[in-house]
Amino acid sequence: MSAQLKIDRSAMEARWVFPELNDEKIHRMMTDFSVPEIVARLLVSRNVEPEKVQSFLFPRLATDFPDPLALKDMEGFANWAAEAICQGKKFSAFCDFDVDGSTSAAVWKKFFNHLGIDLPVYIPDRMTEGYGPNTKALKKLKDDGADIVLMSDCGTTSFEVIEQGRELGLDICIFDHHEQGDHLPASKWLINPKRKDDTSDLDMLAAVGVTFLACVAINRVLRDTGYYAEKNMSEAPLKEWLDIVALGTVCDMVPLTGPNRLLVRIGFVQMAQHKNIGLKALCDVGGIKKDPTPMDAGFVLGPRINAGSRVHQADLGAKLLSCTDAEEAKNLAWTLNDCNAKRKSIQNDMMSEALDQIEQRNLAERPIIMVWDETWHAGLNGLVAGQIKERFGRPACCIAFARGMSGELEGRGSGRSVAGFNMAALFMAAKEKGLVLKGGGHAMAAGFTVEPEKIEELDQFFLEHAEKIMGGSEVVIEQQVDAIASIRGIRPDFVKLLEDNVGPFGQENPEPRFILPSMRIAMVDIVGEHHVRIQMTEADGGQRMKAMAFRAVGTPLGDILLKAKGGRLIHFLGQFKVNHWNGVDNVEFMISDACLAD
């Protein structure tokens, strides 16, 4: 599997790139850790150093769980929060509307429920309130009796609102993982591994990871000060909630390295036990009949949780994940499933119109693509931006419109980026120029709010910034390749070997990608209007394997697949998957790219 194949321009206009690996290092990995060559190759390509291999292959809570107190100010917060609990102070939570925020809310809810404390949770409306805290929401929490607001997945750059919350008499405690601005907000506590003065080396955590560590820290203080013994109650069953933590971590697309790898790996073992009745109900309506996987989280569970805030009600996901009644969980899960079906339909229409706009405005070759329309749904702009980025291999922004809390129409923009182009920095630069009202997020995914009359000026600013970053050079996508393979002899146990040793897969630990060289298409059809399904054989015939190319219809990839039946040889790039159907496991290939071989 170590041979190489040079592809400089594929169907998706990508260059297929093999990593430069040290063969001696690979051999040493095989010898020292008794792993097959393909596993050793993947470990080396993912820069897993020898001293880290043991914890990478076999992460354990007892030895690899991070110390919560390593986070800046966590020790002070935990002592303060434990004292506030003992004093009977009224807690509430304010969490973002995405999966990271919803899972954070569920973790807070479960922790305080275990203590016998009711915890009101506020999830802002995606359409009318937008991202982050607002004064109206904080005032409602205060009016409802809150003394303390636990704020997860937002707040780090909400300077004015946090100050207003302080003036209302609220102690606001922020648990975030977004980039810090020039200064810190006037919160009571700010726990964020991306603080400039934080030395924990935990900046890969999602907000739900930070939230979970906060619960661990509070739990320790309550235990050590005799709180549980005095009340004759058990400690919080924190390990049982790692399924929620794993879901939020995967769906927020943070790096699956270090502690995140541990949290996700252990979390999915926990998820397989189906102790969370909300998650169990969501698996049922999503058709997950086996143990859930990170792929299920990203493509089945996460989209349904997100769909509530996108097209219906923002707090449905948090309610489902913290639910304790099976019938309520079932109803919530079906509601979210219906929301997801509606979301798909609207998104498909938006994407079709966005592609028309890209063609009419000749945007396809720009270093950054920005599209907008007053009729689009503001809850789906990030998804469309992501599809455009995948389609054209360059940073993309999508703007839809909604009325803000002031009643004024405003553009809600979302951006999705590629390696080497910091989208959050771009939006923050636009904010400094006065071109956007709000802007920030992560390097690969960020958002902004813009006044409608400034959109064209903003478009030009983005273009000039992108040209400066990319130096006017042609944008070339690079698809990383792990090895060349043959479909002969690929069985489910091979896929399981990769998953058990190198998984869970996600950001910075991608699924292994293989090239299948010189294949023929024996059968091809379209599935669900947007996807292409094929059966392929090697050049000399013999064994067949099913393969799928999702969302390929109408793309150069789809065109190659639909036109090449029985004729020309094709190189395929993608991943092997096991399809569980009617009690039988079969290996299939998920096609991400292709190239004519002759």
Mean pLDDT value across residues 384-397 = 93
Is residue 92 helix, strand or coil?
strand
- Report the CATH number at residue 279: 3.90.1640.30
Q: Are residues 147 and 294 in the same domain?
A: yes
Point out the least confidently predicted range of 16-20, 202-206, 475-479, 494-498: 475-479
Average pLDDT on 265-293 reads 96
| Predicted confidence (pLDDT) at residue 53 exceeds the cutoff of 90 | yes
Identify whether residues 472 and 528 lie together within a single domain. Answer: no
Count of domains in the chain? Answer: 3
**Bridge pairing between strands 409-416 and 396-403:** antiparallel
* Confidence tier at 8 by pLDDT (50, 70, 90): confident
Determine how β-strand 483-484 pairs with β-strand 477-480.
unpaired
Domain boundary among 476, 494, 515: 476
Domain-ending residue, one of 445, 476, 507? 476
- State the DSSP code for 273: T
Same domain, 164 and 276: yes
pTM for the full model? 0.92
Say how far apart CA 95 and CA 305 lie, in whole Å.
14
Pair 471, 486 in one domain = no
- Give the per-residue SS3 of 360-419: HCCCCCCCCEEEECCCCCCCCHHHHHHHHHHHHCCCEEEEEEEECCCCCEEEEEEEECCC
Residue 13: which pLDDT band, with cuts at 50, 70 and 90?
confident
Percent of the chain residues past pLDDT 70, beyond the cut: 98
Domain boundary among 451, 476, 501: 476
Average predicted confidence (pLDDT) for the chain? 94
What pLDDT, on the 0 to 100 scale, is given for residue 529?
Answer: 83
pLDDT at residue 541, as a whole number: 81
Split at pLDDT 50, 70, 90, the class of 246 is: very high
Q: What pLDDT score does 404 carry? A: 77
> 414-473 pLDDT, tens per residue?
999 988 889 999 998 999 999 999 888 888 899 999 999 999 999 999 999 998 887 656
Examine residue 100 and state whether it is found in any structural domain, yes or no. Answer: yes
Together in a domain, 472 and 493: no
Instruction: Dump the DSSP string for 310-358.
Output: HHS-TTHHHHHHT---HHHHHHHHHHHHHHHHHHHHHHHHHHHHHHHHH
Three-class DSSP category at 218:
helix
pLDDT at 130: 86
The least confident of 85-99, 311-325, 577-591 is 577-591
Tally of CB atoms within 10 A around 23: 10
Question: What is the pLDDT, as a whole number, of residue 598?
Answer: 74
Q: Are 124 and 182 members of one domain?
A: yes
In-domain check, residue 426: yes
For residue 316, tell me if it sits in a domain: yes
- Phi and psi (nearest 5°) for 345? -65, -45
Kindly indicate the confidence band of residue 1, based on its pLDDT and cuts at 50, 70 and 90. very low
**Residues 12, 476 contacting (CB under 8 angstroms):** no
Q: Can you tell me the mean pLDDT for 471-487?
A: 82
Torsion of CA 495, 496, 497, 502, to 10 degrees: 90
Report the distance separating Cα 304 and Cα 480, nearest Å.
Answer: 30
Contact assessment for residue 117 and residue 91, using Cβ atoms and an 8 Å cutoff:
yes
Instruction: Count H helices and E strands in the chain, helices first.
Output: 22, 18
- Of 192-206, 260-274, 332-346, 570-584, the poorest mean pLDDT is in 570-584
The CATH number of the domain holding residue 553 is: 2.40.50.140
320 within some domain: yes
Whether 549 maps to a domain, the answer reads yes
Query: Are 448 and 494 members of one domain?
Result: no
pLDDT surpasses 80 at 406 = no
Q: Are residues 401 and 498 in the same domain?
A: no
Percent of the chain with pLDDT over 90: 84
Contact 267, 240 (CB under 8 A): no
490 and 380 share one domain: no
d(CA 76, CA 58): 33
> pLDDT digit string (tens) for 520-550?
999 999 998 889 999 999 988 888 999 999 9
Distance CA 245, CA 239 (A): 10
The pLDDT, as a whole number, for residue 471 is 66
> Domain range spanning residue 296?
68-337
Residue 405 pLDDT > 90, yes or no?
no
For residue 239, tell me if it sits in a domain: yes
Q: Do the domain assignments include residue 41?
A: no
Asked whether residue 470 falls in the same domain as residue 503, the answer is no
Name which residue leads in pLDDT, 428 or 188.
188
Question: Is 37 within the bounds of a domain?
Answer: no
Tell me: do 421 and 512 sit in the same domain.
no
In a 3-state reduction of DSSP, which class is residue 448? strand
Q: Tell me the residue type at 212.
A: F
On whether the CB atoms of residues 270 and 246 are closer than 8 A, the answer is yes
Element (H, E) at 243: helix 242-251
Query: CA 565 to CA 526: how far, in whole Å?
Result: 13
Amino acid at 372: W
**Which band of pLDDT confidence, cut at 50, 70 and 90, is reported for residue 47?**
very high
436/495 same-domain check = no
Residue 530 or 349, more confident: 349
- Predicted pLDDT of residue 397: 98
